Amino acid sequence: MDRSWMQKNRLSEEYKKGVLEFLKFAETNLPESNGRFHCPCAKCVNIAPLEAHIVWEHLGVNGICQNYTKWIWHGELSDAPKASPKEEFDVEMGDRLEDMIRDIGQDSFQRANIHDTLCNDSKIPLYPNCKNFTRLSAVLRLFNLKAINSWTDKSFTQLLELLKEMLPEENMLPNRAYEAKKILCPMGIEYKKIHACPNDCILYWRDNEEKEKCPKCMTSRYKKKSDDEGCDVTTKGPPAKVLWYLPIIPRFKRLFGNLNDAKNIRWHAEERKCDGKIRHPADSLQWKKVDTLFPDFGIEPRNLRLGLSTDGMNPYGSLSSNHSSWSVLLIIYNLSPWLCMKRKHVMLSMMISGPKQPGNDIDVYLSPLIDDLRKLWDEGIDVFDSFSNETFKLRAMLFCTINDFPAYGNLSGYKVKGHKACPICEKDTCYHQLEKGKKTVYLGHRRFLNHNHPYRRLKKAFNGYQEYKVAPKVLTGEEVYHRVRNISVSFGKKQKRLQVIIYGRRVQCSLTFHIGPVLM
């Protein structure tokens, strides 16, 4: 059916005839509607069904929604494959068991035992003669409710204990949150605990995995235990610092295993409105430049463009700054604006434990994530797309970062304190130090305005002077590389040392002392 009338003026005859044909189309394809249809005007946007004459009035006054090109609310069949309500419910609850088990079984021969375990759990009924749930599907449903409602492990354990008492005696439901997690871990829903040097020098990972002391600062990998006399014991204890890493590659595979998510990933290429206005990162010059520089990457709409965000937080909920744990989040910009910032699609990739923030040494902790991102960019991974029922080579790139200014300094390694803190203006930064509070403020932002902008002539509203300077030239990527290529970086917190003079000799020692009995 012709839809050109949707772009016409609402007062034209073509638009009125088009509305009449649209209503006739709805009456023909929805005979059971009894004269009530969803109103597709620009204000109602198919929220609720209305009488046909009210729909006629709304379309004449408000106009039709320009994005409503497929009239699925008025009887037109969609070309996209649809899942039944039961299938959509299962996908949302993460119950695509056979697909996930198949992917796990194809990873390597070493996972054969895991594959057998999952198959057994997916076949064992929750209790004798139970037809609706298996042991694995029940745990998956419960864990989904735990994630949606933000239940703690303690409350989840109490729920499992109650359900186990309510079910028949021979049920297979675990009664502890820890036991339930052990069932799901073989499916790839796991995390990695990587030990770290307490001074942020290295990760005990790969070449350093077997070491028990940091090769830089010689600090023990484990927390030292003390005996009754206060002396350190060399036996192993808990790790001094831990990085919690949640691998992103298996999570991307499960993302495309969900029918709805696999379809939403294509939104920026298939459903986005392209009218020259910036509503989405795909409308930006940076997105288009990536498509131009790397056409093999840009031609595949399913390739992921990710945003990385990190900042410190206090997990204990108090306003004290004595403890700071840093979370690293990934945002998928292929999704529509109303989905990409939803909690479901914001991926927690790692948690850097405290109590001290990593500072500029955060690069040490980002190395596992960077390795996975490099693999996704250079090689790609084979992923099954449940929407198109095919396997393709998935690639991903880090599109941008989202931080406040202090976190930006830690993530980029740029100095963001002092009089020359602006990364754009650099040595030409316009700063002013307040007389009373001795705080440094930056007031040179008017230089970025047009030459004839009226704000440039205002004095009292700003720093008391007119602005005649022009905006500094932005450095290119090659210029930035030539500036930083010879910089040598040494990670790790330096221990404060105290100078002590003993018998005329100057000796440096750490600030840690053991106070014991004095021998006379």
417 has a pLDDT exceeding 60: yes
Under DSSP, the state recorded for 459 is -
245 has a pLDDT exceeding 90: yes
Q: Higher pLDDT residue, 276 or 446?
A: 446
Which pLDDT does position 332 carry in this prediction? 94
How confident is residue 78, by pLDDT bands cut at 50, 70 and 90?
A: low
pLDDT, tens digit (0-9, with 9 covering 90-100), for 397-415? 999 999 888 888 888 888 8
Q: Is the dihedral of CA 270, 272, 275, 279 positive or negative?
A: negative
Which pLDDT does position 89 carry in this prediction? 34
Give Dmax (Cα) for the chain: 111
497 has a pLDDT exceeding 60: no
Mean pLDDT value across residues 198-204: 91
How confident is residue 422, by pLDDT bands cut at 50, 70 and 90?
A: confident
Which pLDDT does position 95 carry in this prediction? 40
Distance between CA atoms of residues 79 and 320, nearest Å = 55
**Nearest 5°: phi and psi at 381?**
-130, 150
Token output for 306: 């990710």
**Least trusted range by pLDDT, from 86-90, 185-189, 479-483:** 86-90
Which pLDDT does position 369 carry in this prediction? 94
Omega cis (within 30) before 355: yes
Which pLDDT does position 463 carry in this prediction? 80
Radius of gyration of the chain from its Cα atoms, rounded to whole angstroms: 30
366 has a pLDDT exceeding 90: yes
Which pLDDT does position 30 carry in this prediction? 80
Mean pLDDT value across residues 214-223: 89
Number of neighbours of residue 135 by Cβ within 10 angstroms: 21
Q: Are 401 and 413 in contact (CB under 8 A)?
A: no
Token output for 421: 């803190």
Distance between CA atoms of residues 100 and 171, nearest Å = 24
Which pLDDT does position 349 carry in this prediction? 92
> Which whole-number Å values give the CA distances from 217 to 84, 455, 490, 494, in the listed order?
60, 54, 12, 8
Which pLDDT does position 507 carry in this prediction? 52
**Nearest 5°: phi and psi at 313?**
-150, 160
pTM recorded for the entire structure: 0.66
pLDDT, tens digit (0-9, with 9 covering 90-100), for 268-302? 988 888 888 888 999 999 999 999 999 899 899 99
Which pLDDT does position 226 carry in this prediction? 62
Mean pLDDT value across residues 426-432: 86
Chain-wide mean pLDDT for the chain? 80
Residue with tokens 């070493």: 110
Q: Higher pLDDT residue, 415 or 303?
A: 303
Which pLDDT does position 493 carry in this prediction? 81
pLDDT, tens digit (0-9, with 9 covering 90-100), for 368-396? 999 999 999 999 999 999 898 899 999 99
Mean pLDDT value across residues 430-442: 86
Mean pLDDT value across residues 437-465: 88
Which pLDDT does position 17 carry in this prediction? 87
Which pLDDT does position 232 carry in this prediction? 55
pLDDT, tens digit (0-9, with 9 covering 90-100), for 15-36? 888 888 888 888 888 877 777 8
Percent of the residues in the chain that have a pLDDT greater than 70, as a whole number: 81
Which pLDDT does position 184 carry in this prediction? 75
**Sequence letter at residue 99:** D
230 has a pLDDT exceeding 50: yes
pLDDT, tens digit (0-9, with 9 covering 90-100), for 89-134? 333 433 444 444 444 444 433 444 544 555 555 677 888 888 888 8
Distance between CA atoms of residues 134 and 118, nearest Å = 11
- The secondary structure of 306-357, three-state, reads EEEEEEEECCCCCCCCCCCEEEEEEEECCCCHHHHCCCCCEEEEEEECCCCC
Distance between CA atoms of residues 259 and 142, nearest Å = 21
Mean pLDDT value across residues 345-358: 89
**Sequence letter at residue 250:** P
307 has a pLDDT exceeding 90: yes
